[in-house]
Amino acid sequence: MDRQKRKKMRNLRVMFTNIFMALSVLALVAILMLIAMGYSFNIKTGIQQSGLVEIVSRPGAATVEIDGTTKFERTKISTMLTSGKHELKITKSGYDIWQRSLDVDPGLLTSIDWVRLFPVNPEVYEAKTYEDIRYVNFSTNRKSMFLIEKDSLSAYYADLQTEKLDTQKIKLATILNVAPEFVTEGTFKITSWNKEANKILLSWTRALPDEEGNIGEPSTDLYLVDLKSPDKTINLTKNFNLHFSRALFANDSGSKLWVLESGNLRSIDLSNLTISGLIASKVEILTNNKDVVAFVNTDENGERAIRIYVDGETGASVVKELADEQKDAKISLSTGTYWSDNWIAYTVDKELRVLSGSYPSYDKPSKNSMRELEKQELAFIPNLISVNEDQSIIILASGKQVYALDIETTHHFNYEVDADLTSINWLDEYLTWQYVDNKIVVRDFDGYNRRELISENDNQFGVLLTENDDWLYFFDLKIVHPEPTNCTTGAGDSAITEGDVDTNQATNCIDSVDAAPIHNYVLRREKLKI
């Protein structure tokens, strides 16, 4: 009996021991899971949840201070911070200071991967000098430049990422198929680059004389220019006998276009130079994300709406029907893809909506699955909308007022800039730039870290930070005053040079007085890595 009792007690001890061990393991796992989720215990605040913060800087190996204390000596870093507001400061010897307030969300990742530090005393090099520039445009992929000199018959296509500036000369008269004397007239503008930055859509607006020599009304021709093979340039206006008010590349390779002519939306297949039938009429606003185009138009029933058309479908889907009281509303519209989700952003006057998911299908409406990502009443009616290259940031602006939205986090920011904005200019994926009092001012997309990047810059040709982060390009105006070349004595005697001295006769340098100065532009580049 005693033996059975002892056996029973032993079994009970084993059972309780196993239960205790199992509970201990479960408790440990739970604690570890809570720690992994950012939970911690503070004697003052009790249990609180932290968030994971990742910080990346360009260049790397920068010091990170958090709330006034040095925490890390080398970026890239990942660390847990308690939820709420923190102060960040990032420094590196020889570079300027980057700092901002940071709101950490509990249990979530906060990625600060746009920190860019600029050299305090940068090395500046003269890359090339151009005579009186007529037009400059930098590619959207931040690798290339297209330039036309004012009085030249040539354009230049340059790869800006190489140590030695790789420049290709393009004879404008040849690719435009006109007489050389006409090239110096009119206005050139690049309306679009393809993703690979080897093709451009170039518009040329000018007034040409008729057969009797009379100057007519200005007209615009649209050219497709293959920058690698400029001899393959196509005058799209003459080829289709249509005048296009808007044209956008519909794919990365540049083999297809979305075009507007007289408010009619069509597509062009450049591989066989064919144009589609009518997609939509009375189109007033047009934007695209490759093979998807979003637009605002008024249909045959007088209904004004925001619509989206997927290439190859039989019609366009309605995104937003405008009510009668919204018929005259100011509309801003953009669309893109971030990670695997497509998105559409639009404003109707001050009302902002951002939808995310799969684009609506006209042919398969059951597959429509867009959810409302953001809904805001803005403080202003935007007249500008722009999206960064990876389509993760949307910026809307009017005058000095700016609203920025981070698609990934849905965090939004309201701030004011120094002067009224006429365009939104991206320096990289997260920084924008603006001309202010002959200075190029940069700031993060959220309004933080305003810095004067280039001072006393008397030109309006912009600035480019190369995609490989090696160089910062900009132009400097250099006015050259011609030296006196034809100086004669007051009595009309033999010519003397400017340096000659004649005590008996006055010197009259007749050619130098009225000679126009030459406006040269020096393409400079700053080395970003020291």
Domain boundaries, the chain: 1-36, 49-116
For residue 182, pLDDT beyond 80? yes
Q: Look at the block and give the residue holding tokens 């021709």.
A: 221
pLDDT of residue 113: 92
For residue 494, pLDDT beyond 50? no
Mean pLDDT confidence for 211-228:
88
Sign of CA dihedral 69, 75, 81, 87: positive
Cα 174 to Cα 231, 234, 281, 413: the distances in Å are 8, 11, 35, 49
The CATH H-level superfamily of 49-116 is Carboxypeptidase-like, regulatory domain (2.60.40.1120)
Residue 203, classified by CB atoms within 10 Å of its CB into exposed (0-12), middle (13-18) or buried (19+), is: buried
Sign of CA dihedral 493, 496, 502, 507: positive
Which of 486 and 333 is assigned the larger pLDDT? Answer: 333
Mean pLDDT confidence for 144-169:
90
pLDDT of residue 446: 97
For residue 10, pLDDT beyond 80? no
Mean pLDDT confidence for 408-431:
96
Which of 255 and 514 is assigned the larger pLDDT? Answer: 255
pLDDT of residue 455: 84
Which of 505 and 90 is assigned the larger pLDDT? Answer: 90
- SS3 state of residue 14: helix
Cα 315 to Cα 97, 296, 318: the distances in Å are 52, 14, 10
Mean pLDDT confidence for 232-255:
96
Cβ–Cβ < 8 Å for 464, 160: yes
Cβ–Cβ < 8 Å for 146, 190: yes
pTM (predicted TM-score) = 0.85
Which of 485 and 499 is assigned the larger pLDDT? Answer: 485
For residue 179, pLDDT beyond 80? yes
Q: Backbone dihedral region of 410: left (phi > 0), alpha (psi from -120 to 50 degrees) or beta?
A: left
pLDDT of residue 30: 53
pLDDT of residue 492: 43
- Strands of 187-193's sheet, edge to edge? 187-193, 199-206, 219-226, 234-235
pLDDT bracket for residue 185 (50, 70, 90): confident
pLDDT of residue 478: 80
Mean pLDDT confidence for 251-261:
96
pLDDT of residue 40: 52
pLDDT of residue 487: 57
pLDDT of residue 484: 63
pLDDT bracket for residue 493 (50, 70, 90): very low
Mean pLDDT confidence for 70-96:
93
Q: What are the tens digits of pLDDT across the range 353-400?
A: 999 999 999 998 877 789 999 999 999 999 999 999 999 999 999 999
CA 123 vs. chain centroid, Å, equals 26
Q: Look at the block and give the residue holding tokens 């700053």.
A: 526
pLDDT bracket for residue 500 (50, 70, 90): very low
Residue 100, classified by CB atoms within 10 Å of its CB into exposed (0-12), middle (13-18) or buried (19+), is: middle
For residue 197, pLDDT beyond 50? yes
Q: How many residues does the chain have?
A: 530
Q: Which residues pair with 439 in a beta bridge?
A: 436
pLDDT bracket for residue 7 (50, 70, 90): low
Q: Backbone dihedral region of 148: left (phi > 0), alpha (psi from -120 to 50 degrees) or beta?
A: beta
Which residue spans within 83-197 are E strands per DSSP? 84-91, 98-104, 109-116, 124-131, 133-138, 144-149, 154-159, 166-171, 187-193
pLDDT bracket for residue 495 (50, 70, 90): very low
For residue 120, pLDDT beyond 90? yes
Please provide the average confidence, as pLDDT, over all residues in the chain: 87
Q: What are the tens digits of pLDDT across the range 44-60?
A: 554 567 899 999 999 99
pLDDT bracket for residue 27 (50, 70, 90): low
Range among 123-127, 475-479, 506-510 rated most confident: 123-127
pLDDT of residue 451: 96
pLDDT bracket for residue 107 (50, 70, 90): confident
Which of 499 and 123 is assigned the larger pLDDT? Answer: 123
